[in-house]
């Protein structure tokens, strides 16, 4: 699966007496934020780090442009079409997209709903292989 | 009131707008006319609640009285809420909801854009985060207003009525009070007069495309920013706060 490093959510790690991990929320209301923070703390505690602090960093605001190439590939393999690159402003304002199907690569796809199972994804359908898929929206 | 206290009050008010509007939208979960709107509405409501949490947490820290974001949301009385009258208006039918959203989204997007440039770093950060989300909100609500206005005779008539009825709540958004003035003068905050005319230009463009008529009414309702609300807020607060107040100290 995609890691929070690959999603660009981890902004910084400072090791001193304790460890301070700086994370950025993706959307203001992302329900996974607390789960991610809890998992980071648990992962470090499992490795013997007793003193873990999470810092929430809002600035500059997280953008899908920070998702790494490896992250994009993993999203695709998982069946989620990765966000267009550098298209944040364009996508937000004009909404013109051509999203290839993550299953069969066809560009003959259409948007079913701008809003999918989570705040960050839209629902799409491939008109060639007929599979539905989700698209990770640019922000 | 010091400018630091004014800033705290201002941030609390931003939290109130986000929370009350988020709560209104949550009332529509499982009650929307179609599935895509269900998803859209739920996702947007999440954004608003998330923003409310960010604003409330910051305001509580600044206040330094040991209150938490939950205390701000669940333990304040009606007159302590300083949200705009517009956001507490009931959902009504789908057209009423969409008009309320458009009128507020167009304002909120401009406001957040301006606040992202203010001199308080944390407020600017929250605003920059929220602005990106609110762009999607306005896109959605304005597209719906066009479909409803330039739709059938029935949808056009209904949504024109919604616009006429809600217009009286738009003046308050741009009526600067002490907190707004402090933001502008001490923290490089927005000039509401300039924002009002930009808002009107943007709204006029959407209303024209929707083949609707811009209301001419100039009498505007006030009071939300001072804690004097319409009869609707009491019911909303009661429903929102009931569980927390009935079972003090309750946790999941």
- Contacts A–B by Cβ distance under 8 A: 76
In this structure, the answer to whether residues A42 and A93 fall within a common structural domain is no
**What number is the ipTM of this complex?**
0.79
**Among the ranges A78-92, B26-40, B65-79, which has the highest mean pLDDT value?**
B65-79
Supply the pLDDT for residue A114: 83
Task: Report the alpha-carbon distance of residue B168 to residue B94 in Å, rounded.
Answer: 19
Task: Report the alpha-carbon distance of residue A109 to residue A9 in Å, rounded.
Answer: 29
Task: Report the alpha-carbon distance of residue A2 to residue A72 in Å, rounded.
Answer: 8
The residue among A85, A53, A70, A90 whose CA lies nearest residue A7 is A70
Supply the pLDDT for residue A48: 92
Tell me how many degrees the CA angle B132-B135-B140 measures, rounded to the nearest 5: 140
Q: What is the distance in angstroms between the Cα of A39 and the nearest Cα belonging to chain B?
A: 19
pTM for the model: 0.91
The pLDDT tens digits for A56-115 are 998 888 999 999 999 999 999 999 999 987 655 555 555 567 899 999 999 999 998 888
Supply the pLDDT for residue A55: 94
Arithmetic mean of pLDDT, A35-60: 93
What residue numbers bound the domain in which B9 lies?
A: 3-246
B141 HSE (CA, 13 A, CB side): 27
Arithmetic mean of pLDDT, B56-84: 97
Task: Report the alpha-carbon distance of residue B202 to residue B173 in Å, rounded.
Answer: 15
In this structure, the answer to whether residues A48 and A88 fall within a common structural domain is no
**B210 part of a folded domain:** yes
Percent of chain B with pLDDT over 70: 100
- In this structure, what DSSP letter does residue A84 have? P
Q: Cβ neighbours of residue B2 under 8 Å, at least 6 residues apart?
A: none
Which residues, listed in sequence order, are joined to residue A122 by a DSSP beta bridge? A135
CB pair distance less than 8 Å for B47 and A114: no
The pLDDT tens digits for B143-194 are 999 999 999 999 999 999 999 999 999 999 999 999 999 999 999 999 999 9
Backbone φ and ψ for A102, nearest 5 degrees, come out as -70, -15
Note the Cα B205 to chain centre separation in Å: 21
Supply the pLDDT for residue A94: 53
Q: What is the distance in angstroms between the Cα of B215 and the nearest Cα belonging to chain A?
A: 27
Arithmetic mean of pLDDT, B98-110: 98
Token couple for B13: 């008010």
- In this structure, what DSSP letter does residue B48 have? H
What residue numbers bound the domain in which A128 lies?
A: 72-136
Q: What is the distance in angstroms between the Cα of B131 and the nearest Cα belonging to chain A?
A: 10
Supply the pLDDT for residue B127: 97
In this structure, the answer to whether residues A86 and A42 fall within a common structural domain is no
**A65 part of a folded domain:** no
The pLDDT tens digits for A6-39 are 999 999 999 998 999 999 988 888 888 899 999 9
Arithmetic mean of pLDDT, A104-132: 91
3-state secondary structure B74-97: HCCCHHHCCCCHHHHCCCCCHHHH
Which residues from chain A sit within 8 angstroms of residue B132, using beta carbons?
61, 63, 88, 92, 139
CATH assignment of the domain containing B118: 1.20.1260.10
**B38 part of a folded domain:** yes
CB pair distance less than 8 Å for B132 and A61: yes
**B90 part of a folded domain:** yes
CB pair distance less than 8 Å for B39 and A31: no
Task: Report the alpha-carbon distance of residue A52 to residue B44 in Å, rounded.
Answer: 32
Cα–Cα distances (Å) from B246 to A62, B240, B242, B243, B249, in that order, read 38, 11, 6, 5, 9
Which residues from chain B sit within 8 angstroms of residue A125, using beta carbons?
none
**How many structural domains comprise chain A?**
2
Q: Cβ neighbours of residue B235 under 8 Å, at least 6 residues apart?
A: none
Supply the pLDDT for residue A15: 94
Count CB neighbours of B211 within 10 A.
12
Which residues from chain B sit within 8 angstroms of residue A95, using beta carbons?
139
């Amino acid at each position: 699966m995609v890691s929070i490093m690959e999603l660009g959510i981890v902004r910084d790690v400072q090791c001193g007496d304790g460890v301070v991990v700086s994370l950025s929320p993706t959307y203001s209301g992302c329900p996974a934020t607390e789960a991610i923070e809890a998992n980071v703390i648990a992962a470090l505690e499992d490795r013997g780090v007793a003193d873990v602090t999470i810092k929430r960093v809002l600035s500059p605001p997280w953008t899908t442009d920070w998702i790494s190439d490896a992250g994009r590939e993993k999203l695709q393999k998982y069946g989620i079409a990765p966000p267009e690159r550098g298209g944040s402003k364009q996508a937000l304002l004009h909404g013109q997209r051509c999203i290839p199907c993550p299953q069969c690569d066809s560009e003959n796809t259409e948007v079913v709903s701008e809003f999918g199972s989570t705040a960050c994804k839209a629902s799409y359908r491939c008109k060639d292989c007929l599979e539905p898929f989700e698209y990770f929206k640019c922000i | 009131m010091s400018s630091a206290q004014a800033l705290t009050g201002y941030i609390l008010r931003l939290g109130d707008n986000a929370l009350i509007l988020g709560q209104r939208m949550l009332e529509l979960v499982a009650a929307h006319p179609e599935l895509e709107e269900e998803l859209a509405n739920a996702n947007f409501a999440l954004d608003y609640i998330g923003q409310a949490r960010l604003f409330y947490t910051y305001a509580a820290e600044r206040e330094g009285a040991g209150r938490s974001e939950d205390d701000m949301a669940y333990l304040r009385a009606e007159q302590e809420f300083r949200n705009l009258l517009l956001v507490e208006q009931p959902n009504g039918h789908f057209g009423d909801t969409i008009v309320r959203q458009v009128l507020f989204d167009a304002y909120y997007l401009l406001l957040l854009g301006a606040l992202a440039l203010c001199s308080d770093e944390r407020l600017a950060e929250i605003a920059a985060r929220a602005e990106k989300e609110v762009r999607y909100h306005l896109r959605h609500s304005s597209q719906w207003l066009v479909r409803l206005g330039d739709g059938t005779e029935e949808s056009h008539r209904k949504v024109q009525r919604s616009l006429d009825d809600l217009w009286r709540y738009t003046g308050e958004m741009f009526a600067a009070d002490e907190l707004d003035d402090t933001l502008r003068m001490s923290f490089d905050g927005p000039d509401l007069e300039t924002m009002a005319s930009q808002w009107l230009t943007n709204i006029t463009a959407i209303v024209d495309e929707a083949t609707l008529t811009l209301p001419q009414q100039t009498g505007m309702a006030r009071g939300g920013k001072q804690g004097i609300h319409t009869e609707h807020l009491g019911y909303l607060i009661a429903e929102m706060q009931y569980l927390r107040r009935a079972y003090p100290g309750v946790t999941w």
